[in-house]
């Protein structure tokens, strides 16, 4: 049995959600836009499921669209800068963002004459709010904020940040990448003064290829995808009713168990941290523990290469992830690590352990024992 | 309208008394890609033919990769009878004219069967006249025609106009067996292809140091060997994990010699496997001066570790030439996937580029070479068979 500790990358589909997916596939495969009764039945399932997703963030269903996942959500949110009139041509973003934010900004810069500026971040992974506010000028049209950073799990205080921005200029659009917080942390979009927020299904044990986008003002929304006018003309394309139903089920479970899961994960997280500290010398935990999501531990181990450690661990069916310079050949160096200023002898040994619903506290001992053993072995080969 | 494929042989025709042997190997290569046993492959006065009536384009494309064949053409096979030839040639020109922009043509008849009653020149005139009589809006142009109709008279007669290049070289297996040291790079797959083309029955050996290298880099080697097997026939890949050897080098030898000593081990292991499994030579993708282990001094020191011929078909090639071949044989895009270079933690920062044998032997003296080779071969070899 695998000990899967890469839940920030993706998760195993929840069993209830999987059964429901198949059930809906078998019976409600009709197009929900169809006029006949089968279409209507599918539409009912669809609407019911959307509500469950909306409940998770306390949104109304007309403020929510289904997307193909976090990437589309982020692209679409940032795309909203194009609806602004006049000289609002600048996006403020940061190196803490996911590639689906940063590379989309680069695309807009190259093809749409949008100007991109990066605001500063602190060594613990938090946003330098003062710097952000100082960079706002009459050209600023949109600001992006990562709710929970996917590498180190730092949780930003969205409300404080958005309020400060809107106080300065309430016409500035704020897009939040909510993917790593969705279904894990309490989100109430009504309390956050933001314009769009993206979500993903597969990070919380839902089906893959699906996500959502919260839209504060659907009446002023600029779609990214055009076609048959589905989802109130906001996002065309035939709705994948079975996956959406399964996603709805997943959201329902996430809401039901949110607090329980949070506390359980916090305990697992602490157990891992304690054991790691105890058993391995020369390690640093990246980010600030107090403001970090318990679902993610990011650490750097001196004088190893994380990719080698990952291969050692996979032999014991333990799966963690890296994101360090070592894999830069084909994944691109993570901009998050740039901002954290991790020293050279540590940065290549950076790994991320991320938890999900099926993670177990009792695995910690076995996992840390293996990490410790392999770290020694790798150091022997690498240290001269 | 085609019902046959003709194949002209390359160097095989120079092989005199051994020709039968080479043709036999060629037959085996062809049978490999022509699974359908109902399709008849036969010889007719020096050329090879295949009776086939469907999927001809696909078959021509496959045959064009077979070593030992220089030209391949889809053709119309008929009885060697003057009237029948006349009718068929008119039909053929009509067929081509319908599908392509043909305004001028030329007939090029050739009698491999000299007992055929009409001589080639005369036949050209007869057939040309017949076409002009029966088809409108077409003229003869002997210098630069849109269409050359070849009429090849043997036991049967073959009419064709398209000529495609074959794989060239000699049939696989007609020139012994070789073991290719296949890395995930650009060069060694090309070396494998080149020696396959010279008739060597090739298999491969690949070294890795998992978990210090990724499983994905082995998958890449498998992918490369699958691509190569289109030309070489089914291959075997020996995957050898030499982590233990690196470990011992790290513990006992000077860092700057790591690459050279490791290469010597790879050669020795390859040689042992070659002798055990009856390969006549080793083959590498080394090109002089490309990296530190490929200087002439390094090659000398590496060569010294084994007494089996090491063939280096690319030794005098520039990188750009090698890349061009790699693109032609479809290995390039796979070779440039970047898995193998990642974490090349055993490469010394300053590798020795002018090693001397004395110094390397002295350093290697700190290792139990025989034992390391023996244990590696018995514990750390896995075999993959290409598709």
For chain A, what is the domain count? 2
On whether both A237 and A128 belong to a single domain, the answer is yes
Estimate to the nearest angstrom the gap between the alpha carbon of A127 and the chain centroid. Answer: 17
Is the distance from CB of A73 to CB of A199 less than 8 angstroms? Answer: yes
Q: Do B214 and A327 touch (CB under 8 A)?
A: no
What token pair was written down for A113?
Answer: 């004459």
Closest residue in B to A374 (Cα) is: B211
Q: Does B244 touch chain A (CB under 8 A)?
A: no
What is the helix (H) or strand (E) element at residue A351, kind and residue range? strand A350-354
- Cβ separation B250–A381 shorter than 8 A: yes
For chain A, the first-to-last Cα distance in angstroms comes to 36
My answer on whether A225 and A350 are in the same domain is: no
Which residues are CB-contacts of A150 (< 8 A; sequence separation ≥ 6)?
Answer: A8, A98, A179, A180, A296, A336
Q: Are residue A127 and residue A245 in the same domain, yes or no?
A: yes
B137 and B234 in a single domain? The answer is: no
Helices (H) and strands (E) in chain A, counts: 12, 12
Q: Is B343 on the interface with A (CB under 8 A)?
A: yes
Weakly modelled stretches of chain A, pLDDT under 70: 323-334, 383-384
Q: Are residues B297 and B266 in the same domain?
A: yes
- Interchain contact B210–A (C-beta under 8 A): yes
Chain B residues near residue A350 by CB distance under 8 angstroms: none
Both B202 and B252 in one domain: the answer is: yes
Co-location of B247 and B364 in the same domain: yes
A 10 A CB-CB count for A178 gives 32
Element (H, E) at B324: helix B319-328
Of B250, B255, B338, the CB nearest to A329: B338
- The answer to whether residues B161 and B268 belong to one domain is no
Question: How far apart, in whole angstroms, are the C-alpha atoms of residue A227 and residue A229?
Answer: 6
Chain A nearest CA to B300, separation (Å): 28
Q: Which of B137, B165, B193 lies at the terminal end of a domain, its last residue?
A: B165
CB-nearest to B338 from A305, A314, A330 is: A330
Candidates B208, B245, B249, B343: best to mutate against A (most CBs of A within 10 A) is: B343
Nearest-CA distance A380 → chain B (Å):
9
In the three-class reduction of DSSP (H, G, I as helix; E, B as strand; rest coil), residue A10 is classed as coil
The candidate with the shortest Cα–Cα distance to B282, out of B386, B188, B217, is B188
The verdict on A367 and A351 lying in the same domain is: yes
CB spacing of A308 vs B343 below 8 angstroms: yes
The answer to whether the CB of B339 falls within 8 A of the CB of B203 is no
Place of tokens 């059930």: A23
- Same domain flag for B137 and B201: no
Q: Which residues of A are catalytic?
A: 326
pLDDT at B211: 93
Judge if B161 and B272 occupy the same domain: no
Last residue of a domain, one of A199, A229, A253: A253
In chain A, which residue's Cα lies nearest the Cα of B255? A384
**Integer Cα distance of A136 and A173 in angstroms:** 12
- Domain containing A184 — which CATH number? 3.40.640.10
CATH number of the CATH domain containing B123: 3.30.2130.30
Say which DSSP state B183 is in: -
Sheet of strand B236-241: strand arrangement: B310-311, B281-283, B177-181, B201-208, B236-241, B381-385
User: How large is the average pLDDT for residues B199-205?
Assistant: 96
- Residue-wise pLDDT for B39-75, tens only, equals 899 998 889 999 998 899 999 999 999 999 999 999 9
Containing structural domain, residue B76: 4-165
Residues 110-139 of A with CB under 8 A from B: none
Beta carbons of B384 and B239 less than 8 angstroms apart = yes
Contact B345 A384 (CB under 8 A): no
Task: Render pLDDT for B307-332 as a digit per residue (tens, 0 to 9).
Answer: 999 999 999 999 999 999 999 999 99
Q: Tokens 């139903």 sit at which residue?
A: A245
Among A226, A253, A280, residue at a domain's last position = A253
Residue range B357-377, pLDDT digits in tens: 999 999 999 999 999 999 999
State residue A165's pLDDT score: 97
Residue A383: the pLDDT is: 63
Does residue B186 sit in the same domain as residue B332? yes
| Helix runs in chain A, H state only | 15-27, 37-57, 70-79, 99-112, 129-134, 158-168, 241-279, 306-314, 328-331, 335-340, 344-347, 363-382
When pLDDT is averaged across residues B279-295 and rounded to a whole number, the result is 91
Domain hosting A355: range is 3-9+258-382
**Residue B293: band (very low, low, confident or very high) from pLDDT cuts 50, 70, 90:** confident
Confirm or reject contact between A312 and chain B (CB < 8 A). Answer: yes
Same domain? For B152 and B234 the reply is no
**Residue listed under structure tokens 């297996």:** B173
A376 in Cβ contact with A282 (< 8 Å): no
CA pair distance A47, A180, nearest whole angstrom: 25
- B228 to chain A nearest CA, in Å? 25
> Do A23 and A60 lie in a common domain?
yes
Q: Does A304 touch chain B (CB under 8 A)?
A: no
Closest-CA distance of chain B to residue A300, Å: 17
Q: Is A317 on the interface with B (CB under 8 A)?
A: no
Q: What is the pLDDT of residue A26?
A: 96
Q: How far, in Å, CA of B184 to CA of B340, rounded?
A: 7
Q: Are B156 and B192 part of one and the same domain? A: no
Average pLDDT over residues B248-252: 93
Let me know the angle formed at the C-alpha of A194 by A114 and A146, rounded to the nearest 5 degrees: 70
**CATH code, domain with B357:** 3.40.50.620
Asked if the structure places residue B171 within a domain, the reply is: no
Q: What is the mean pLDDT of residues B274-290?
A: 95
A268 touches chain B (CB under 8 A): no
* CA separation for the pair A241, A141 (Å, rounded): 35
B234 token code pair: 């089914």
Domain ends where: A228, A253, A278? A253
Tell me if residue A157 falls in helix, strand or coil.
coil
Q: Are residues B124 and B267 in the same domain?
A: no
- pLDDT (0 to 100) of residue B24: 86
Sign of the dihedral through C-alpha A40, A43, A47, A48: positive
Q: What is the pLDDT of residue B344?
A: 65
Our CA dihedral for A39, A40, A41, A43, rounded to 10 degrees, sits at: 90
What local confidence, expressed as pLDDT, does residue A10 receive? 96
Q: Tokens 């504060």 label which residue?
A: A216
Rounded to an integer, what distance in angstroms lies between the CA atom of residue A358 and that of residue A365?
A: 16
Please give the DSSP secondary-structure letter assigned to residue B16: G
Interface touch A308/B250, C-beta < 8 Å? no
CATH number for the domain including A309?
A: 3.90.1150.10
Question: Are A99 and A179 members of one domain?
Answer: yes
| pLDDT score for B254 | 93
Burial of B136 (0-12, 13-18, 19+ CB in 10 A): exposed
The pLDDT value recorded for residue A341 is: 78
Would you call A330 an interface residue with chain B, using a CB distance cutoff of 8 Å?
yes
The alpha-carbon gap from A384 to the nearest alpha carbon of chain B, in Å, equals 9
| Final residue in a domain of this structure, among B165, B192, B207 | B165
Lowest average pLDDT, out of A361-375, B231-245, B337-351, goes to: B337-351
Among the three residues B140, B165, B190, which one is the final residue of a domain in this structure? B165
pLDDT for A325 equals 42
Same domain, A53 and A175: yes
Q: Per DSSP, what are the bridge partners of residue B206?
A: B239
Task: Examine the domain organization and report whether A235 and A289 are in the same domain.
Answer: no
Please answer yes or no on whether B211 and A312 come within 8 Å at the CB atom: yes
Q: Do both A327 and A275 map to the same domain?
A: yes
Which of B210, B250, B343 is closest, CB to CB, to A326?
B343
Please indicate, yes or no, if residue B170 is contained in any of the structural domains.
no
Query: Quick check: B336 contacting A, CB < 8 Å?
Result: no
Q: How confident is the model at residue B289 (pLDDT cuts 50, 70, 90)?
A: confident
The enclosing H or E element of B221 equals helix B215-232
Q: Using the beta-carbon criterion (under 8 Å), do B342 and A382 form an inter-chain contact? A: no
Residue B77 has pLDDT above 60, yes or no: yes
Query: How many domains does chain B divide into?
Result: 2
B238 and B379 fall within a common domain? yes
Select from A290, A301, A300 the least CA-distant residue to A266: A290
- pLDDT tens digits for range A98-132: 999 999 999 999 999 999 999 999 988 899 999 99
Rounded Cα distance, A152 and A290, in Å: 12
Mean pLDDT score across all residues of chain B: 92
Answer whether A304's CB lies under 8 Å from A375's CB.
yes
Q: Is the pTM of this model over 0.90?
A: no
Assess if residue B230 is contained within a domain.
yes
Looking at the fold, whether A237 and A270 belong to one and the same domain comes out as no
Residue at B172 is within a domain: no
Nearest by CB: B212 against A308, A327, A330: A308
B350 touches chain A (CB under 8 A): no
Please tell me whether residues A193 and A161 are part of one structural domain: yes
* Residues A301 and A332 reside in one and the same domain: yes
């Amino acid at each position: 049995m695998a000990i899967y500790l890469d839940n920030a990358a993706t998760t195993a589909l929840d069993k209830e959600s999987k059964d429901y997916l198949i059930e809906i596939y078998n019976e409600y495969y009709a197009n929900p836009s169809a006029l006949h009764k089968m279409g209507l039945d599918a539409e009912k399932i669809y609407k019911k499921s959307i509500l469950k997703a909306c409940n998770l963030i306390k949104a109304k269903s007309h403020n929510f669209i289904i997307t193909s996942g976090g990437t589309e959500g982020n692209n679409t949110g940032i795309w909203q800068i194009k609806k602004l009139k006049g000289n609002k041509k600048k996006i403020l973003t940061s190196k803490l963002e996911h590639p689906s934010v940063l590379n989309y900004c680069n695309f807009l810069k190259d093809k749409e004459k949008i100007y991109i500026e990066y605001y500063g971040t602190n060594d613990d992974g938090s946003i330098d709010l003062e710097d952000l506010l100082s960079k706002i000028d009459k050209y600023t049209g949109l600001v992006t904020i990562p709710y929970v950073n996917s590498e180190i799990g730092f949780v930003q205080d969205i409300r404080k940040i958005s309020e400060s921005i809107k106080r300065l200029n309430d016409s500035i659009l704020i897009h939040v990448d909510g993917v790593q917080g969705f279904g894990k942390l309490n989100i109430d979009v009504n309390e956050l003064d933001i314009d769009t927020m993206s979500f993903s299904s597969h990070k919380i044990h839902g089906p893959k290829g699906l996500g959502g986008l919260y839209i504060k003002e659907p009446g002023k929304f600029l779609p990214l995808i055009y076609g048959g006018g589905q989802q109130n003309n906001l996002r065309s394309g035939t709705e994948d009713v079975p996956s959406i139903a399964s996603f709805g089920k997943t959201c329902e479970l996430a809401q039901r168990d949110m607090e329980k899961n949070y506390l359980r994960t916090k305990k697992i997280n602490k157990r891992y941290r304690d054991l790691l500290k105890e058993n391995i010398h020369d390690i640093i935990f990246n980010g600030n523990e107090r403001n970090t999501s318990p679902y993610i531990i990011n650490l750097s181990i001196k004088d190893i290469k994380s990719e080698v450690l990952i291969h050692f661990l996979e032999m014991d069916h333990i799966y963690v992830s890296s994101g360090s310079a070592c894999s830069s050949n084909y994944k691109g160096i993570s901009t998050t690590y740039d901002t954290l200023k991790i020293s050279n002898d540590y940065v290549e040994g950076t790994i991320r352990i991320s938890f999900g619903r099926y993670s177990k506290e009792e695995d910690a001992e076995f996992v840390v024992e293996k990490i410790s053993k392999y770290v020694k072995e790798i150091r022997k080969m690498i240290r001269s | 309208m085609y019902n046959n494929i003709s194949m002209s042989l390359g160097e095989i025709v120079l092989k005199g008394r051994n020709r039968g042997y080479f043709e036999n190997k060629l037959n085996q290569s062809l049978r490999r890609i022509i699974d359908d046993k109902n399709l008849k492959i036969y010889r007719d006065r020096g050329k090879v033919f295949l009776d086939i009536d469907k999927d001809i384009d696909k078959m021509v494309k496959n045959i064009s990769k077979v070593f030992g064949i220089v030209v391949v053409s889809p053709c119309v096979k008929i009885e060697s009878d003057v009237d029948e030839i006349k009718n068929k040639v008119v039909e053929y020109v009509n067929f081509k004219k319908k599908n392509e922009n043909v305004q001028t043509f030329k007939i090029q008849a050739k009698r491999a069967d000299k007992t055929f009653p009409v001589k080639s020149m005369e036949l050209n005139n007869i057939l040309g006249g017949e076409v002009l009589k029966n088809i409108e809006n077409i003229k003869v142009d002997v210098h630069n025609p849109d269409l050359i109709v070849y009429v090849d008279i043997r036991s049967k007669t073959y009419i064709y106009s398209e000529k495609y290049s074959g794989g060239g070289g000699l049939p696989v297996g007609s020139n012994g067996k070789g073991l290719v040291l296949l890395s995930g790079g650009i060069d060694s797959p090309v070396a494998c292809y080149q020696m396959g083309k010279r008739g060597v029955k090739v298999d491969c050996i690949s070294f890795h140091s998992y978990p210090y290298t990724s499983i994905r880099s082995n998958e890449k080697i498998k992918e490369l060997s699958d691509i190569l097997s289109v030309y070489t026939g089914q291959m075997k890949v020996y995957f050898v994990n030499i982590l233990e050897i690196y470990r011992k080098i790290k513990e006992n030898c000077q860092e700057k010699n790591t690459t050279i000593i490791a290469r010597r081990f790879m050669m020795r292991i390859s040689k042992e496997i070659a002798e055990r499994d009856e390969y006549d030579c080793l083959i590498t993708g080394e090109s002089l001066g490309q990296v530190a282990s490929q200087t002439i001094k390094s090659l000398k020191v590496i060569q010294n570790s084994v007494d089996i011929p090491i063939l280096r078909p690319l030794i005098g090639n520039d990188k750009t030439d090698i890349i061009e071949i790699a693109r032609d044989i479809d290995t390039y895009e796979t070779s440039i996937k970047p898995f193998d270079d990642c974490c090349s933690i055993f490469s010394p920062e300053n590798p020795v580029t002018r090693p001397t044998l004395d110094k390397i032997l002295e350093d290697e003296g700190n290792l139990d070479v025989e034992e390391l080779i023996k244990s590696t071969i018995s514990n750390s070899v896995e075999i993959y068979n290409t598709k």
